[in-house]
Amino acid sequence: MKQTGLRAIRAPLSATQRLVLGIGSFVLPLLLWCAVSYLPFVWHPLVLVSDPGGVDYFEPGMRVEAGVFADEVKAMRESGAALPQGVPANPVYLPAPHEVAQAFYTGFTTPPEQKDAPWLHQSLWHSMQIIFWGFLISSLIGVPLGILCGTYSALARLHEPFIEFFRYLPAPAFGALAVAILGIHDGPKIAIIVIGTLFQQVLIVANTTRQLDHSLLEAAMTMGNRGARLLLKVVVPGILPQLYRDQRVLLGWAWTYLIVAELIGTSSGITFFITQQARYQHFDKVYAAILMIGLIGLGIDLLLAWLGRRLFPWLPPRSQH
Amino acid sequence: MFFKALTQRLTRGFQALVVTSALLGSQASGAAEPLKIGYSDWPGWVAWQVAIEKDWFKQAGVAVKFEWFDYSASMEAFAAGKIDAVTVTNGDALVTGAGGAKSVMIMLTDYSNGNDMIVGRPGIKSLQDLKGKKVAVEAGLVEHLLLLNGLKKAGMKESDVTLVNAKTNEMPQVLASGEVAAVGAWQPIAGQAIKAVPGARPLLTSADEPGLIYDVLTVNPASLANRKADWQKVVAVWDKVVAYIEDPKTQPDAVKIMAARVGVPPATYTQFLKGTKLLSLAEGKKVMVKAEGFKSLYGSSQIADDFNVKNGVYKTPQKVDTYIDPSLTNAAAK
C-alpha cells in the first residue's frame, strides 16, 4: 500500500510543492504578525494616549493598560473634566510589520548622525569580518584535528575527553579573559567565536570521518598507502561532501556567537546598533537589525548549498533545501 | 597538489594575520602613543564627544584616543590594563581598585542631579509607602546606595524593605511585572520604567542628595606618573566642553553631537542633560577639597567605601586619599 499526497510519510515533493511550501514557511508567520498588529480585536491590550484630557499623569504617546484607561475615562466623566483620547495599541516591543520595514530601509539610507561613525552597512560588514576570521581560525585547527581524531583512535582518546569537557564551558564567560589577553578591539571578539565553534567542530568532523566506509581504507592500505598519503588521497576526498555540509552547519553556529562576541571590548558592529536601539526602546530598529542578520545568514547558507550542488554533483539531492 | 597549494595559501594568510595583529597590538612606548580613554553612555561622559569632534585635544597638543564601551565593559578593559583611563562614578573607581586595578581620580565631570532614581509603582507616593514591600536594585551599584541613604534620611531602617537583586537594564520590565513596589535605575532606563508603567513616579532622585554620586575621569597611576603633562592638557580641555554645552548659543550644536553619539533624537537628550550637573574645573576644585560628607569628593568616596564594605562588594576598606589627586584640576582651574 503506497501512500501519496502531502500526508504520505517521507514522500518526495514535486518542485512546485517545494516552492509553495517554502514560501508558505515565511508567509504564515508574517500573516500572523500582520493579524496581531493590524486587527485591533486580536490583541491590542494597551491604549496609546493621543490627548491626555484632564488626567494629570497621562502624556501624549504614553501606552496605558486598557483597564486603567477605562477607569480614568470614567473618573473624568464623573468629575466633568476633559476626557482622555486614545487608540488601542500593542506593547512597544511589538512594532507593526510596516514600521520594521521602514526602519530596515531607513537604516541603510540615513547617513550616520555622528561624524566618523560607521554606516549601517559598514557595521554589518565589520560583523561579517569578525565571523569570517573566527570561523577561518577555528577551521584551520578544528578540521585537521577532527580528521586525525576520526582516523587514529589513539589521538581521539588523547583529545576528545578534554574537548568534550571544554565544549560545555560557556564561551561568553571567557570575555574578560579574552580582553585581558587580546586587547579591546577585534581580537577578543574573534576569540569568542573561535572558542564557541572550535570544540564542536573537532567532535563533529571526527564523527564524520568515522562514518567513512572502512573497506575504502582497507583497499587503500592493501595497495601500500600509509600516513599523509592515505589521509590526503583517501580520507579527505571520501568525507569531503559531508565535511562541506558540516561546515555549513558550523558556520550557522558561529553566527549565533556573534552577538555575545561583539558585546566584549569596545562597542562595534551590528550588536552595538542593536543594544543601543534596545536601550532607547526603538524596537522597530532592533527587529530590522535582527532581520538583517537572519537574511545575511540565510543568504550565505543558500549560496553555500548551491555551491555544494556544483561541487559534488554525484550526491543524491537529499537534505538539500 | 591542490591541497598543498591551498594549505600554503592559508598559512600565508594566517601568518599575515598574526603579523598584522601583533603590529597593531604592539605597545610602542613612545610619547606619540595616544592616551587611551574609555567612555560610555552617561551625559557627563558623552560630553567629551564635543571636544573629540571639535579637535580640541589636537589644539591642546595632546594625542588621545577615546574608546566607546558599554559601562561595565569599560571597567573590565581598564582592569585588564588595556586603556589608560576610564570614566566612572567615584564609588566604582573604588570597586575597580579593590579588585586590583588601582586608579587615581584627576578630575570631576559632573554629579548626578536627578538622573538616578528610585521609581515607585502607581499608588506608592513616598519612601514610607515602601515599608514591608519589595524593592529591586542592582546590588552594590549606585542606586542601592541611593536607596539606603534615602531610607536613612526618611527615618527608616534597611530591614523595612526587602531588596531584590536585578539588572539595571531590565528594570522597566521588572517594575511592569508588578512583583516589586519600586525599582532603582538611572537615565535613560529610569525614564523607560516610568513610561512602561503609567502612574509610576520617582520617589527619590539623586537631586535629593547632590554629591552622593560624583562622576570622574580616573587614570592608571603609572600612566599618570609618566605622562603628567599630557594628562594636564586633557584636563584643561574640560572647561571648553562645559562652556560649549552650557552656553545657550552653542547648546543645540552640543546636544546634537551628544545625541548622535548614543543614537537618540536631540530633544530626548536635552532631558538627560537636565539630570546631570556638569562641573567646570573651578567647581570641581571646590569639591576636591578634603572634608566630611557629600559636598566633598573625599567625603562622598568615604561614604561609598563604607557602603561597599558593609554590603560585601569588597572586604578591605580602601584608602580613599590615595585614589584622589586634585593637583591637575587645581592647576587648570581658572
Residues 263-302 of A with CB under 8 A from B: 263-267, 273, 275-277, 279-281
In angstroms, the CA A241 to CA A309 distance is 10
Give Cα A6 to chain centroid, integer Å: 30
Beta bridge partners of B218: B86, B105
Note the pTM of the prediction, 2 decimals: 0.79
Among B290, B275, B298, which residue's Cα sits nearest to residue B105?
B298
Residues of B near A (Cβ–Cβ under 8 Å) read 3, 10, 14, 17, 21, 24-25, 38, 41, 49, 53, 67-70, 73, 76-77, 79-83, 169, 188-189, 192, 195-196, 198-199, 201, 256-257, 259-264, 268
**DSSP per-residue codes, A168-185:** TS-GGGGHHHHHHHH-SS
In angstroms, the CA A290 to CA A110 distance is 18
Among B147, B188, B204, which residue's Cα sits nearest to residue B274?
B188
B260 to A117: CB separation less than 8 angstroms, yes or no:
yes
In angstroms, the CA B51 to CA B110 distance is 16
* C-alpha distances out from residue B4 to A151, A225, B15, B34, Å: 20, 18, 16, 43
In angstroms, the CA A189 to CA A168 distance is 19
Residue type for position A239? I
Residues of A in contact with B262 (CB under 8 A): 276, 280
Task: Find all residues with CB under 8 Å of B150, minimum gap 6, and list them.
Answer: B118, B127, B203, B204, B208, B209
B69 to A68: CB separation less than 8 angstroms, yes or no:
no
In angstroms, the CA A170 to CA A178 distance is 13
Q: In a structure prediction context, what are the per-residue pLDDT tens digits for chain B, which is 334 residues long?
A: 444 554 555 455 455 454 444 444 444 444 569 999 999 989 999 999 999 999 999 999 999 999 999 888 899 899 999 999 999 999 999 999 998 899 999 999 999 999 999 999 988 989 999 999 999 998 878 899 899 999 999 999 889 999 999 888 789 889 988 899 999 998 888 888 888 888 889 999 999 988 999 999 999 999 999 999 999 999 999 999 999 999 999 999 999 999 999 888 888 888 888 899 999 999 999 999 999 999 999 999 999 999 889 888 899 999 999 999 999 999 999 7
In angstroms, the CA B214 to CA B322 distance is 17
Residue type for position A61? G
Q: How many CB pairs under 8 A join A and B?
A: 90
Residue B225 and residue B215 in contact, taking contact as beta carbons nearer than 8 Å: no
Give Cα B58 to chain centroid, integer Å: 24
Beta bridge partners of A51: A85
Task: Please give, one letter per residue, the 3-state secondary structure of B219-271.
Answer: ECHHHHHHCHHHHHHHHHHHHHHHHHHHCCCCHHHHHHHHHHHHCCCHHHHHH
CB atoms within 10 A of CB A192: 26
- Sheet containing strand B85-89, edge to edge, reads B64-68, B35-39, B85-89, B214-219, B104-112, B276-278
Distance in angstroms between the alpha carbons of the first and the last residue of chain B: 74
In angstroms, the CA A54 to CA B326 distance is 52
